[in-house]
Structure 1
Amino acid sequence: MAKEMISGVYGAPPQDLAALGADVVQFSPLVPGAASLEALSPGSLAAMTILASPGTIERRYVTALALRALAPGAPLTVLALKDKGGARIAREFKAFGCDVGETARSHFRICETLRPEAFDREGREFIATAIEAGAPRLVPEMGLWTQPGIFSFDRLDPGSALLLDHLPAFSGRGADLGCGIGVLSLAVLRAPKVTALALVDIDRRAVEAARQNVSDARATVHWADVRTAELGLTGLDFVVMNPPFHDAGIEDRGLGQGFIRQAATMLRPGGFLWLTANRHLPYEEILKPMFKLVTNRAEDGGYKIFEARK
C-alpha cells in the first residue's frame, strides 16, 4: 500500500488555511493543537509552505525539518518580509543544496524549490547542523531547558529580572500567564504556602521546556492562548505575568491588555496581579477600571512593576 502523503503549511494564521484546501495540515508551535514538524517521518510530506521566522536559527531549523520530511521532488515554498529574514532565504536554500527560484511581492521575498532526489554531502551537513542548532537545549548558565524561537530563549530578560527582585511570597492558588520556560514559576513555587500553579503559554516549545524545568507537583502546564482559552481557572489568589507586546515583530499593545483582562476574570475578589511591562506601555488605563488598587512597585531600566488588587 502506498504511503499516505500530506501537504503542510507552517506559520500561517489559522484563518488563512481555508483558502489552501481542506487537506492542508497546520504546523506551528504558536497555534495550540497544531501538528509538529519534528514528528514527521522522512518522505511523508507532499508539499510545504513556510511563513518564516525572522530569527536565523529558527528559520533554518524549520526549513531543514521540512526538507527532511518532504518526498523527493516535492515543492517547498518559504517566504518572509525582506527585512525580517527574507533577503537571506535564497542563500540558505543554496546551502541546503537546493536550486531556488525567487520572487518579490508586497515587501516579501518568496523562494521556491523542489526537494532534491538526493542531497550532496554539504547539503546533508547543513541540514544536520541546522536541526541541531535549533533543537531544544540545556543552557548551563541558566540551568534550564529552552529552544531558539522562544522569547529570550537563552538569557533572562530584564523585565522578568526586575519582577523576580520584587515578587512577594505568595500563598494559595495561582497562575503564570505567558510562562515561557518557567523562570517566574520556579520563583513563585519557592513559597511553601503556594498550593497550585497553572503555567500557560501559546508557544509549544516553551511549554515543553517548562515541563522539563518545573517538576514541582503543584504545577500544571497548559499549551493555550491566554486570551481565548477556556482553562477553568477561576477564584485564583494570584497571577504573575510578563505579557508579550509584539506579534510577528510588530508592537501590539492589545496583547498585554488581553492578558490583563483574563487575569482579572481568573482572580477572586482580593486576589493579586503582579505584572512587569515596558515603561512606555499604557497599562494603567486598563488596570485601574478592573482592579480596586493599582500600585507601581518599581521602575528601572525601562521597565515597571505593577501590583493590582482585584
Structure 2
Amino acid sequence: MDPRSEVLLRQTELFTGELLLAGLPADDLLGRLPLARGWSWHAGEQATLETRFPGRVEFAVERPAGSFAAAVLFLPKSRELSDYLLASLASAVAGGMLYLVGEKRAGVESTARRLSAFGQPRKLDSARHCQLWQVQVNEAPLAPRLHDLARRYPLDTTEGSLQVVSLPGVFSHGSLDVGSALLAEHLDGLPSGHLLDFGCGAGVMGALLKRRYPQSRVSLLDVDAFALESSRLTLQENGLEAEIIAGDGIAAAPFGLSAIVSNPPFHQGVKTDYSTSEALLAEAALHLEPRGEMRLVANSFLRYQPLIEAHLGPCQVLAEARGFRIYRASRR
C-alpha cells in the first residue's frame, strides 16, 4: 500500500460518502473505500486499477462528471498542475471537503498553504513521511478551463515555424528543453516508414518528424494524459496528423517501426527513475523492423551506449553539447 494511502486510511471515517480520488496510486485504496471513484492521468496506473476495479477510474485531463461529497488530491510534482487540479476539485465540491495528501519532501506543506484560497486549511495527520490536509470549500472557484492554461511558443525549423502547445504538468512546460533542442537538430536521414516519438511530451519531436517526413506514418506515445493532450494540440495547431498512443513504456509501442526518436524520461515524481529508459533500450529491437533505427538524446553522464550496443547494435554518438549526447543505432 502506498504510504499516502495508508495516511488516508488512518482517517477512514472521513471518507464514507461519494469521494473522488485524483492522482491515486495503483494500490488497494479503492477496495477499502467502496464509494470512491478515481481520476488518473497516468496510463499505466489507470490500466492496473481498471483491471482490479473496472469502471471506477477515468483516464482524463478533466475532472470526471458526477457529484461528489468530497475530493482528495494526491500531490503531483508540478506546481502548475497542482493549481489546476485543486481549482478543478474545489469547484466540484462547493461547501464540501477537499483533501490534500502528499510526501513532505514533495512539498505538500507549501502546497497546503494554497488551500487558503478556498477556506481555512488544517493539517489532519502526519505519518509515513506524508501529511494529510483538509479544507472546507467555502469559496468555490469557477471550474478552470484547461486549454486556457496552455502556453504556446514558436520553434524555427528548416520547414518553417512550428507552434508548440504545452499544458500544466508537461515536461519543460512553456519552453523547449536543452536536450530536445539538440535532438531537433539531428533528425536528418531517418529511414522512411513508421516513425515513433517515444515519451512525446508536448509533441515537439512528433510534429517535427511529420513536417520533415510527411509521407511517413508518425505515432506519438506517452504515459501522461496531459502530455498526450498537449501533443494533440500541437499537431492541431500546425495542421498535422499523427497517431497518439497512451501507454506505459515501450511495450505499448507498435511493431514494425522504421525509427524510434526519443528524449526518454528518467524522473518520476521526486524520485530518480531510470526504468522507462532502460526498458526502451532493452526492448526497442522488438519494435523496430530490421535495420530500423533508434535516435535519442540523453544526459552525458548516463551510460547508455553500452546498453544500446548490448541490446540493439553498434551505437554512434552523433553530437555532444551542453551536457547532452545524441545516440544513433540500428537494429542488427
Give the TM interval when normalised to the shorter protein.
0.7 to 0.9
Partner of 1:27: 39
Whether the 8 Å contact between 2:39 and 2:64 is mirrored in structure 1 is: no
The one-letter amino acid of 1:208's match is E
1:167 aligns with 2:198: no
State the secondary structure of the residue aligned to 2:229.
helix
Q: Choose from 67, 77, 80 the match for 2:102.
A: 80
Q: CA deviation at 1:110?
A: 1.7
Q: Is 1:12 aligned to 2:24, yes or no?
A: yes
Q: Does 1:197 align with 2:221?
A: no
Q: Aligned match of 1:131 in 124, 136, 144? A: 144
AA aligned opposite 2:144? I
Post-superposition CA distance 1:220-248 (Å, at most 9, x none) = 1112212443x5x1111111011100111
Q: Contact 1:296–1:304 at 8 Å: present in 2 too? A: yes
Shift of 1:37: 6.5
Q: Secondary structure at the match of 2:260?
A: strand
**Aligned counterparts, 1:115-126, within 5 A:** 115-116=137-138, 119=139, 124=140
Aligned residues: 293
8 Å Cα contact 1:55-1:85 kept in structure 2: no
How far 1:98 moved relative to its partner? Answer: 3.5
Is 1:223 the counterpart of 2:243? The answer is no
Question: Percent same amino acid among aligned pairs?
Answer: 27
Q: Where does structure 2 lack aligned partners over 5 or more consecutive residues?
A: 1-16, 47-57, 156-162
CA shift in 2, pair 1:101/1:54, >3 Å: same
Amino acid at match of 1:158: V
Distance 1:149 1:62, change over 3 A: same
Q: 1:265 to 1:69 in 2, by over 3 A?
A: same
Provide the alpha-carbon RMSD of the alignment: 2.5
SS in 2 for 1:153: coil
User: Where in structure 2 are the equivalents of 1:62-77 lying within 5 Å?
Assistant: 62-70=85-93, 72-73=95-96, 75-77=97-99
2: distance between equivalents of 1:136 and 1:95?
19
CA distance in 1, matches of 2:122, 2:198: 42
Counterpart secondary structure, 1:93: helix
Residues 153, 175 of structure 2: 8 Å contact kept: no
Instruction: State the shift of 1:164 in Å.
Output: 0.9
* Pair 1:238–1:106, CA change in 2 (3 A): same
After superposition, the C-alpha distances for 1:64-99 in whole angstroms (9 at most, x for unaligned) are 1111112533x3221222232212133212222244
Q: 1:192 to 1:288 in 2, by over 3 A?
A: closer
Deviates more, 1:57-66 or 1:43-52: 43-52
Mark the runs of 5 or more structure 1 residues left unpaired by the alignment: none
SS across alignment from 1:307: strand
Residue 212 of structure 2 aligns to a residue whose secondary structure is coil
Indicate how the Cα distance of structure 1 residues 246 and 192 shifts in structure 2: closer, same or farther if over 3 A, else same: closer
- In structure 2, the residue matched to 1:60 is 83
Question: Where does residue 49 of structure 1 map in the other structure?
Answer: 72
Q: Residue 153 in 1 paired to residue 173 in 2? A: yes
d(CA) in 2 for partners of 1:298 and 1:31? Answer: 33
Q: Which moved more, 1:242-251 or 1:184-193?
A: 184-193
